[in-house]
Amino acid sequence: MRRGRVLALGLMLLGLLVPALAQDADKINRTERAKIRDTRETMARLARDINLYQQIHNKFPDTLKTLVDTQLREDVPKDAWGRELSYELSTDTGFRLASLGADGKTGGDGANADIVWTRDGEQRTLSADEAAELERRRKEALFQAHRCVALREMVVAGTAVVNFRRERGAWPATLADARPTGNDEAQLAIQHCFGDPWGNPYQLRLLAHENFAIVCLGADGKEGGKDQDADFVITEKEVRPSYLRGGRFNRWGGRGRWWDWRADELASNIRRFKRLVGRLPADLTELTRPGLTKNGQPVIQSLPKDRHGRDYCYVTYGADEFYVVSLGKDGLEGGDGEDSDTVVPEPGTTGREYEEHEPPGEDQDALRAEVAREQALDIADKLVAHHAEKSAYPETLEAIKDKFPGEAVPLDPWDRPFAYALTRNDKGEVTGFTVTCLGRDGASGGEDSDADIVVNEKKETK
């Protein structure tokens, strides 16, 4: 029986370290804490512009001044202590952007500690307490990702039970009796859904009133238990939506507000890595590592975050099977709306099935345009809410950044900033605004995926 392995990225993710970091912050006076915070915010924005330059030019800028020369920035900022930020290219991390802290010297603790950013975000040397806190939170995230995948697999196994009943007129005696035995790719994908991420088989329980349950025995593989060892169950009620669709997940037809195109692209890049390197990546950071492919180029330059600013979890089973998991806004398995989870590929399906069920004529850039329109509408919602609160539209989108995950205005699906402009009447009075995505080509005008997407204060799009 297979055993799963889950890797959650973001070893230096500040969101996971807030409680531990607060302990260190108590040792730093208020003035220095404010300077550290301001420097981090400055460097976060600068690192975002560096990554944006890379997306446009397929390389990182040679110097920070290059960002000014190419009009991505008006100037090169200094840290909060008035010192120049150091910047150098790196074969391992793309670039290294650093402030030397309060003392202006390499190394140090507290306010004197260096602040370092790379293409993958801020990097920090963890104290023992920080490392322990990070490990605890990572283990919880790993379990939630395991549970998320397990529940999706249990639905697939339950659908096989229903199909067994339809074909033979009786329920299977055990869950293994309903497991398909074919060797084609689709059958193998379903077979994978009969064992849990901890290497134990799911259990079938026949219930009264022609009902049944699929049971996962938790991390310990034993009945009962608490916390991560606790059993969890689904019944025919949870399985029903799947078999009413003929046993398939309605991936394309059901795509809506919470569809995660970045998870789809990340899964595609994992498959590409396997084709180029001959194995699945050991962890997602290998996708950004140069020197592993034959041409020496990384598969992607930087790893995406989910729509809530968190790193994706990467789940592997053996040498060939993997899942990309986002746990929604709450960071827990389950939930609706913004708390809904994403698992790609959907358990019980194959990459080939995903390609075959893509609607005719739909390509990735067309999907990105659809996402851009939704993003622009979301930005417009927040601008209108700002006007309702302040009786004025903001001068820049930075004024509403705290309304977004990670307190950063999202980039469009081509990783470019949305253009924002106020509209005025003949008297110069502000009457509204436009939010614009310049499409695939990043230039005004164009057709199809190159066409501009413009949203105004009335939520009208064109």
Q: φ and ψ at 267, to 5 degrees? A: -65, -40
Q: At what angle do helices 14-25 and 128-168 cross, to 10 degrees?
A: 150
* pLDDT at residue 20, rounded to an integer: 41
d(CA 399, CA 118) in angstroms, rounded, equals 25
Q: Is 203 a residue whose pLDDT tops 70?
A: yes
Q: Is 240 a residue whose pLDDT tops 70?
A: yes
Regarding whether 203 and 234 lie in a shared domain, the answer is yes
Q: φ and ψ at 20, to 5 degrees? A: -70, -40
Closest CA to 407 of 15, 33, 72: 15
Mean pLDDT confidence for 234-250: 67
Closest CA to 436 of 413, 422, 420, 450: 420
Q: Residue 438 CB: number of other CB atoms within 10 A?
A: 22
Regarding whether 113 and 63 lie in a shared domain, the answer is yes
Regarding whether 165 and 221 lie in a shared domain, the answer is yes
Domain contains 168: yes
Domain contains 10: no
Domain contains 305: yes
Q: Is 359 a residue whose pLDDT tops 70?
A: no
Q: Which of 126, 153, 169 is the last residue of a domain?
A: 126
Closest CA to 117 of 98, 133, 137: 98
Q: Which of 211, 244, 277 is the last residue of a domain?
A: 244
Regarding whether 220 and 150 lie in a shared domain, the answer is yes
The residues with which 121 forms a beta bridge, in sequence order, are 118
What whole-number percentage of the chain has pLDDT above 90?
40
Domain contains 13: no
Between 77 and 119, name the one with better pLDDT: 77
250-288 pLDDT, tens digit per residue, is: 433 334 445 688 888 899 999 999 999 999 999 998 888
Q: Which of 244, 276, 300 is the last residue of a domain?
A: 244
Show the DSSP H helices in 177-253 as ranges. Answer: 185-191, 236-244
Domain contains 251: no
* pLDDT at residue 27, rounded to an integer: 63
Mean pLDDT confidence for 168-175: 94
- Residue keyed to tokens 């010192």: 83
Q: Is 427 helix (H, G, I), strand (E, B) or coil?
A: coil
* pLDDT at residue 165, rounded to an integer: 92
Regarding whether 147 and 230 lie in a shared domain, the answer is yes
Between 161 and 356, name the one with better pLDDT: 161
- Residue keyed to tokens 């995950």: 405
Domain contains 444: yes
Residue type, 178: A
Regarding whether 328 and 266 lie in a shared domain, the answer is yes
The number of folded domains in the chain is 4
Strands 4-8 and 321-326: unpaired
Strand blocks (E) in 115-163: 115-118, 121-123
CB 148 within 8 A of CB 335: no
- Residue keyed to tokens 């399985």: 239
Listed range (12-21, 165-174, 185-194) with the worst mean pLDDT: 12-21
d(CA 304, CA 323) in angstroms, rounded, equals 15
CB 347 within 8 A of CB 315: no
Residue 136 belongs to domain spanning = 130-244
Q: What is the CATH number of the domain that holds 288?
A: 3.30.700.10
Whether cis (ω within 30° of 0) applies to the bond prior to 241 is no
Strands 121-123 and 203-207: unpaired
Q: Is 148 a residue whose pLDDT tops 70?
A: yes
* pLDDT at residue 296, rounded to an integer: 76
d(CA 282, CA 263) in angstroms, rounded, equals 18
Task: Output the 3-class SS for 255-297.
Answer: CCCCCCHHHHHHHHHHHHHHHHHCCCCCCHHHHHCCCCCCCCC
- Residue keyed to tokens 């322990």: 132
Report the greatest alpha carbon distance in the chain: 80
CB 411 within 8 A of CB 417: yes
Regarding whether 137 and 114 lie in a shared domain, the answer is no
What whole-number percentage of the chain has pLDDT above 70?
86
Mean pLDDT confidence for 179-197: 90
Regarding whether 332 and 384 lie in a shared domain, the answer is no
Q: Is 429 left (phi over 0), alpha (psi -120 to 50) or beta?
A: beta
Domain contains 298: yes
Listed range (49-53, 66-70, 250-254, 328-332) with the worst mean pLDDT: 250-254
Regarding whether 115 and 139 lie in a shared domain, the answer is no
Q: Quote the distance between the C-alpha of residue 72 and its chain's center.
A: 25
Domain contains 253: no
- Residue keyed to tokens 């009620």: 237
100-111 pLDDT, tens digit per residue, is: 999 999 888 888
> What token pair was written down for 326?
């986002």
* pLDDT at residue 355, rounded to an integer: 43
* pLDDT at residue 304, rounded to an integer: 80
Regarding whether 372 and 448 lie in a shared domain, the answer is yes
399-415 pLDDT, tens digit per residue, is: 998 887 667 788 888 87
CB 104 within 8 A of CB 39: no
* pLDDT at residue 4, rounded to an integer: 57
pLDDT band at 363; cut points 50, 70, 90? low
Closest CA to 182 of 3, 350, 11: 350
* pLDDT at residue 184, rounded to an integer: 87
* pLDDT at residue 14, rounded to an integer: 39
* pLDDT at residue 251, rounded to an integer: 38
Average pLDDT in the chain: 83
d(CA 348, CA 160) in angstroms, rounded, equals 11
d(CA 256, CA 251) in angstroms, rounded, equals 10
Rounded to whole angstroms, what are the CA distances from 74 to 49, 84, 98? Answer: 11, 16, 20
> Which of 52-66, 242-256, 267-281: highest mean pLDDT?
267-281
Residue type, 293: T
Regarding whether 236 and 138 lie in a shared domain, the answer is yes
- Residue keyed to tokens 């609706």: 336
80-101 pLDDT, tens digit per residue, is: 999 999 999 988 788 999 999 9
* pLDDT at residue 46, rounded to an integer: 92
- Residue keyed to tokens 């399906």: 349
Regarding whether 33 and 136 lie in a shared domain, the answer is no
Query: Residue 296: CA atoms inside 13 Å, Cβ hemisphere, count?
Result: 2
